[in-house]
Amino acid sequence: MEPVIGIIGGSGLYQIAELADAEWHEVATPFGAPSDALLHGRIDGTRTVFLPRHGRGHVQTPSSVPYRANVAAMKAAGVTHLVSVSAVGSFREEMAPGDFVIVDQFIDRTFAREKSFFGPGLVAHVSVAHPVCPALSGACAKAARQAGAKVHEGATYLVMEGPQFSTLAESRLYRDWGCDVIGMTNMPEAKLAREAELHYASVAMVTDYDSWHPEHGSVQITEIIETLHGNVARAAGLVAALPGHLGASCDAGCETALDHAVITAPEARDPAMVERLHGIAGRLLTGDAPS
């Protein structure tokens, strides 16, 4: 099956000019409306679907982003490989503003978001021990370097609720925990992508040093926006180069993540939940995989 690339763009990335035959399509999902319409097109002949995470004009806060609807919309559009592009602060001197970081782990500190497609009447426990697709992450690293970015591979992303930035004490604590970058949006997105059995990768674009750095002080939104402009140009280059690097096959089980995850017995499953989850877990709920 040919891959279909999905791009969820974070702060500063609200459209992709590189898409050929681009058209916006309004969509609805059983989990509500996504952040915006989906932009369908092709890059180097590969079907690509783009969604601005915060909506055009940046109207959604990190807490109000409809994460379930966003991932469900991508799945319904046929996306197989979902790439998150987001702005982050850095806890590491070597991960400087303007650098790209390919994330492979998360610490989820959010508390005001729906974090699963499943629920009462249809319970599932999916593993997120390794929450990203290594093959897709590797392709993103190669594409980012081709676009001229300085790239760091392998990092832990602390996901905070926001919308405020960290206190100095929090920033120091997260550094002590071994976190590398901090942002507000990759959770529950990564967990939902795993439940939807999508290949998922996180490309974090560093805009600042959070508040821990003695020479940079507190985070200033004007400085972040200035750095974002440069990052967005390289992000567009990454997206344009990505189809050429998707050759590696995934052996991490992304496409079968729900095998053995559903706990609710078939006879006890809520029919309304089964119907609601058809677009996410239809492969499993229709009996095509073990439960």
pLDDT score of 12? 75
Residue showing tokens 């197989």: 80
- Give me the helices (H) in the chain, please: 67-76, 134-146, 168-176, 189-195, 221-241, 271-276, 278-283
Distance from C-alpha of 109 to C-alpha of 116, rounded to nearest angstrom: 15
pLDDT score of 101? 98
Examine the residue annotation and report whether 44 is marked as an active-site residue of this protein.
Answer: no
Contact by Cβ (8 Å): 66, 117: no
89-126 residue pLDDT tens: 999 999 999 999 999 999 999 999 999 999 999 999 99
Per-residue buried b or exposed e for 215-230, using 16+ beta carbons within 10 Å of the residue's own CB: ebeebeeeebeebbee
36, 104, 180, 208: the active-site residue? 208
pLDDT score of 169? 96
Any idea what DSSP says for residue 288?
I
Closest CA relative to residue 8, chosen from 38, 30, 31, 45: 38
Looking at residues 247-274, what average pLDDT do you find? 94
104, 210, 251, 259: the active-site residue? 210
61-98 residue pLDDT tens: 999 999 999 999 999 999 999 999 999 999 999 999 99
Contact by Cβ (8 Å): 201, 95: no
State phi, psi for 14 to the nearest 5 degrees. -115, -5
178-234 residue pLDDT tens: 999 999 999 999 999 999 999 999 999 999 998 888 766 555 666 777 777 778 889
pLDDT score of 219? 57
pLDDT score of 195? 98
pLDDT score of 135? 97
Contact by Cβ (8 Å): 261, 290: no
Distance of CA 172 to the CA centre of its chain: 25
pLDDT tier at 287, thresholds 50, 70, 90: low
Angstrom CA distances, 215 to 17, 131, 166, stand at 37, 34, 16
pLDDT score of 217? 58
Task: Please give the CATH topology (third level) of the domain spanning 5-118+130-250.
Answer: Rossmann fold (3.40.50)
**CB atoms inside a 10 Å sphere around CB 24:** 13
